[in-house]
Structure 1
Amino acid sequence: MYSPIVQNERHINVLKEILKDKLGYKKNLNRIESLVVIANPSTIINKKYAPINIANKIIRNDQLIQTISNVEKDKKINWVFIQDDMEKIATCLKAHHKDIDIDYVNKYCLEKENQEDSEDLVIKNDEMDEKIRYKLRGYRLKVSNRENLKPYMVFSNDTMEEVISAKPRCIDELMKVK
C-alpha cells in the first residue's frame, strides 16, 4: 500500500545522496528536516500507535507555517543555505528529474472506438444501459484486481450511473463526468 511516510524517507535519502555525491556536501546531512503535510481536511490521522519520530513528521497543512517558524527559532539547527547553494541544489535536482509518461489507454485496457461505428448501433436505451453497466462492472473488477484495490476505489456505483446517463462519446466528455 502507498505510504507517504516511506515516500518521504526515500526522497530524503535521494536528496542526501545528491548533496553528498554531486555537490560535495559531507557534513550536517543528518540535519535535514522533513514533514508529511496532509492537505485534505477530511483525512483521519491516527498517530496513536505510530512511533514518536514518525508522529512528529505528520502535520496538517494549516500547521505548516507554525511548524516552520518553530524550526527556525530552534537554536540547535544553525545550518542554513545561502542563495548560491540553493540555486546549485535546484539546478542539480532539476537535472536529475525524470518525467514519467503513463499510457492510461493500455494501463486501464481502454479501447479506442470509432465514433461512426458506435453511432450505427441502435439498441433500446434500457438494454444499452444494462450492457454498459455490465461492462463497466467487469472493467472495474478487472482494474481493482490488477491494482489490488477494492472495486469502489476504482469508481463508485454513483459515478458508474452518471457515466451511463451521460453516455460520453470521447475521453473529453468522460472527463466531465464527476
Structure 2
Amino acid sequence: MSFLENALSAITNGKSTVNKPIFIKDFNQENEQLKDLIELSKKIISGKKELIDRDIAFLKYGLDGENNVSYELKNSFIPMLCLHDIRLQSEDYVAQLDFVLITSKFIYALETKKLNGDIEINRDGDFIRTIKNYAGKALKKEGIYSPITQNQRHVKILADILVREKIIKAVPIKSAVIIANPKTIINKIKCPKAIQSYIYKYDQLTNLLNKEMSNKKNDLEIREKQMYEIANYLVKNNKPIKFDFNAKYSLTDEDFDTIKKETVIQVIRQPVEEIKAQDNVNVSHKEVPFKEELVVEPAIVIASTDVNTELKEYRLKTSRAQGIKPYMIFNNEEMETLIKANPKSKNELLKVKGFGEKKVEKYGEDILKIINS
C-alpha cells in the first residue's frame, strides 16, 4: 500500500495525518537530467562539450536554489502536503511547477529562482538585474523575463486542469516567486504593490505561509481527504520532460569519443609458386613443399583497438598539455584514415587527409611511433 493510500485509510478511520510538512514528491539532488548531462559530457570531445558543461553548471546552480527552498519548507512546521517538480500538460499548454503546497486553506504554487546579481523592479513592473564584481562595481544591467508572469500562467493552467477534472471547485490557488540566492538583493520599493506581494526571499517563506494561514479571508476549509486527492492527481499526471540532447546540441558521430572495436585482418592464401613471383613478398630460402596452400597472415593492415586507444590517449594528454581541444590535434575521422593509411614516414603522413605540414611537424614523430609500434 502506497503512502497516499495509507494516509487516506487513516483519514477514513478518523485520524488526522497532516500536522507537519509532508513531502508527497520530495526534492531529489540526484536529478535525472543532471545525470544524463554529466554522462554525455564524458563522451564528447568536440567544442560542444563547453555548451554541455555550461548547462550542467546552470542546472546545478538552480537545483541548489530549490534545495534551499525545500529546506525552508521542511523546517516550517506548517501542516501541508508538498510536491516538488510537477509538470502538467493540458492540450497545447504546459505548467512547470517547482513546488506545489497544499494546505487546508489554499494551494500555493512556487516558482524558484536562484538569480545572480541584484534585482530591481521598477514602477512599470520590469525586472532589471545588475551583475556586480567582487568589489561591488556594477558590470552590466539587463532586463529579464518576469518570473511572476511566468508563474501566474502556470497557476492558471493548474487551476483549469483541477476544475475541469472536478478535483476542486473553489480552492484558491496562490502564486509566489521565491528568490533562492541568499546574496541577491531585491529592490521592490518602487514597483506596484500587486507585484510586491508576489516576490520573496526564501528565508521569508515560512512567514509568508503563516501569514496566509492566519488570514481570516481564507475561510475555506479543505478536508484532508481532498488534500490527498489533489496531491495524488498531481503525482499520477506528472509528465517529466524527455530531453533529446542529440537534437538540442546538434550532436553527430564526430562529437563523440567512441572506441570502435574493429580489427581488420587480411589473410592471403596462395600457392608457393605465385608467392615467389611477387617482388614484395619475402619467402624463406628453405624450399616449402607445395601441398595445398601457404598462409601468410596478416600481410597488409591490422587496425587494432590498441592503436586506436593509444592514439586517443595521446590526443587527450597532448590537448590538455597545450590547453586546446582534442579534435584540434586530429578528430575521429582523421584518426581512422590515419590507421588505414598506416604511414611509415612523415612524407607518407603528409599524404593522409587532415595532416598538413604544421600538424606533422608538431605531432608527426609521436604519431608515427604509436602506429609503427
Shorter-normalised TM range: 0.5 to 0.7
Indicate yes or no: 2:202 matched with 1:61: yes
Structure 1 position 8, deviation (Å): 1.4
Structure 1 position 119, deviation (Å): 1.8
**Of residues 8, 20, 25 in structure 1, which corresponds to 2:151?**
8
Question: Retained in 1: the 8 A contact 2:178–2:200?
Answer: yes
Structure 1 position 34, deviation (Å): 2.0
**Of residues 89, 108, 113 in structure 1, which corresponds to 2:257?**
113
Alignment map for 1:1-178 (pairs within 5 Å): 2-23=145-166, 25-27=168-170, 29=171, 31-109=172-250, 111-114=255-258, 116=309, 117-121=311-315, 128-129=322-323, 131-132=324-325
Q: RMSD of the TM alignment (CA)? A: 3.0
Bigger-Rg structure (1/2): 2
Instruction: Give the TM-score of the pair, scaled to structure 2.
Output: 0.31
Q: For residues 69 and 39 of structure 1, what CA distance do their matches in structure 2 show?
A: 19
Structure 1 position 121, deviation (Å): 3.2
Q: Which runs of 5+ in 2 are unaligned?
A: 1-143, 260-308, 329-373
C-alpha spacing 1:105/1:118, structure 2 compared with 1 (3 Å): farther
Structure 1 SS opposite 2:178: strand
| Identity fraction in percent | 33
Q: Going by fraction, where is helix more abundant, 1 or 2? A: 1
Structure 2 SS opposite 1:70: helix
C-alpha spacing 1:3/1:101, structure 2 compared with 1 (3 Å): farther
Structure 1 SS opposite 2:175: coil
- CA shift digits 1:47-69 (9 cap, x unpaired): 24432112111111111111111
Structure 2 SS opposite 1:33: strand
Q: What amino acid is the match of 1:52?
A: K
Instruction: Give the TM-score of the pair, scaled to structure 1.
Output: 0.60
Q: What amino acid is the match of 1:132?
A: K
Q: For residues 203 and 247 of structure 2, what CA distance do their matches in structure 1 show?
A: 39
- CA shift digits 1:19-50 (9 cap, x unpaired): 211025333x5x32221111111223232443
Q: Which runs of 5+ in 1 are unaligned?
A: 136-178
C-alpha spacing 1:126/1:56, structure 2 compared with 1 (3 Å): closer
